[in-house]
Every structure is written in structure tokens, then in C-alpha cells.
Structure 1
Amino acid sequence: MPADRGAVSATALLDTSNSSAIARQEDDVSRVEPQEEYEPSKGLFTRVRERLFGIEEDEAEDEEAALAAEPRRRAAIRLESTRGIRVAVRLNASVFNDARVAADGLKSGQQQIVNLERAPSPMAERIIDFLSGVTYALDGSVERIGEKVYLFAPANVQIEMDGGSEPPPEI
């Protein structure tokens, strides 16, 4: 019997030590601050934002209301397409500086009509080559509209030419 008594007392000791350990754990749990409960109505982004930045629910609702009040933007609209049509005419372009001025106009979204009738042939070729390169870089288009007269247009302008029965003369 003494052996049973030892066994009983060991079991009793285990029970008392377990109950005191459980009591200590309950005390620890009662001291821990309650964590926020999972709310299925909140989105993942909202829960993460609240946890990371400590934003209160009222503030989050105010921000969401402010965002909802702003109109949504669909796509960026190029300003050139909303302006009136502007065409710059370079009468008698004969120096390379005229080509630079026309290139700046193309970059700002303006069509350029360049008349090269009075330009020497080598200079006319240089001007055409330069403006053709600028127009290509801007995804624009070039049309010959007369003898030594060219239309350079940026990408936002579509050129429609009536071809007629004969092609325009070459330089």
C-alpha cells in the first residue's frame, strides 16, 4: 500500500502543479491585450492598412468616401487632340534654322507646311531629311502637297489626300 500511496501522491502532485500552471496561464491570458478580431466584411487591403499604419475605422471610411466622391479617370487624353487645329506655314524656308523652328512646332503638336521653292536644292534636301526624321520620331506623317511644298503632321493628326489622277511632281 505504501507504493500506491506514493503513486497517488505523485498523481496528486501532478494535478496540483498542473492546476497552478493553468491558473498562471489564465492570468497571463487575462493580461494580454485583446487583438482585433477578423471581420470578413473588411477587405484584405483595409485590414493590412489598419495593421501597418494604425488607421482607425472612422478615418478609413472617411478616406474611402473621399475617394468615392472623386470622379474616376478613364484614360489620359493627349492635350493636342483637344485643342483646335493649328497649322504653321513656313513660307520660303531657305535656311536650316527654318527647319529647326518647324521641328519645334511639330514637337508642340502643330502641323507644319513648308515651302521650299526658293531654297537651293541641297538645302531643300537637308530640310526635308531633317523634318522627315523629326516627324518619324514623333510617329507623325509627311505628305507632299505640291512642287517643293510639304505637309509635316504630328501623330495626333490624320492626313487625307485626294490622290487625283496624276502623282505630284518630284523635286
Structure 2
Amino acid sequence: MTRYLFTLFCLAFFISGWSQVIKERSSPVDIISMRYKESYVKITYSQPSKKGREIFGKLIPFGKEWSPGANEATEITLTKDLTLKGFLVKAGTYTIFTIPEKDKWTIIINKDVGLFGSYNYNPKQDLIRFDVPVHSTGDLVYEPLTMKFDQRNDVADLLIMWDRTMITIPIKFIN
């Protein structure tokens, strides 16, 4: 009888734990990728939703480090070297941080990985930093944070869009 109760207890514990694993996240994970010849780029991020909130300058404060997304910090994986806005980035996996401002964002590629948000951001691990301008999407509102690649052969743009804000990060594959 004891063995039977122990088995039932273990089964109940496993099932309750598994239901937490398969529970839908409020900010679902998304992965975008692109290829050029032998090069492959993948970005993994979580998609928070606007939900009627004021986003930039309020929920996401201006002038403070932020990993674009929710939950785990946004990561970029490169199988070959490439340039981001003219800065060389060697093949590997990195974390993307930003510092949003009203008219520009500072983009940070950081060597730390496996982080949660920007809580443990360490500027000593920065590989590169550069600024990009902010563009308005006009009447188009992106309810969830959305990232996508706009690729044209060996060049591409990484577009990050949320609410009525969009930034563009230029990418060039190295042949």
C-alpha cells in the first residue's frame, strides 16, 4: 500500500509540475532567422504586448538599459562574422541590450549570455555600442513587440517594432 501511495504522489507531483511547463507565457518566445550563403543569424526573444500601456518613456524608461523583449534577455547567434552598422561581430552568441531614448536608441552587443532581462547587465562585457535613429510607425500600432529581418542579398536590416516605434539595425554579411 505504501509503494502504491508513493507512486501516486510522484505521479501527481510530476503532472502538476508539467502543467506549469506547458502553461502559456504572457510574453511568448519568438525566433527569427535568416541565411546568406553559409551564414545563419538567429534572434531569440520574448514578445511582450502593449495591453493599452504607454510603452517608451513609461513602461520602458528612457536612458536605461533594456533587453528588447520580456523574460530572458534577447540573444543573437551568428554562425559567421558579420557587421552591424559597420562594426565587426565575430561568429558566436551574444545578448542584445538597448538604451531607448525619444529620438535614438543605443544598441549594445554584449558577450554575457543566459541572462534574465537586463538585471545583471555588465557594461564591461560590451562588445560594441552604436546609435540608431527612432522612426514612428504612424497609425500602425504593433501590439506585441515584433522583430523581423528585411534581407536583400548580403545586406539586411533588423527591424524592432513596438507600439508606434521602430528602429532599424543595418547588417552586412561578410563573404
Fold-level similarity (TM above 0.5): no
The structure with the largest alpha-carbon Rg is: 1
Q: From the two aligned structures, give the one with the greater helix fraction.
A: 1
Q: TM-score, normalised by structure 1?
A: 0.23
Greater relative contact order (Cα < 8 A, sep 6+): 2
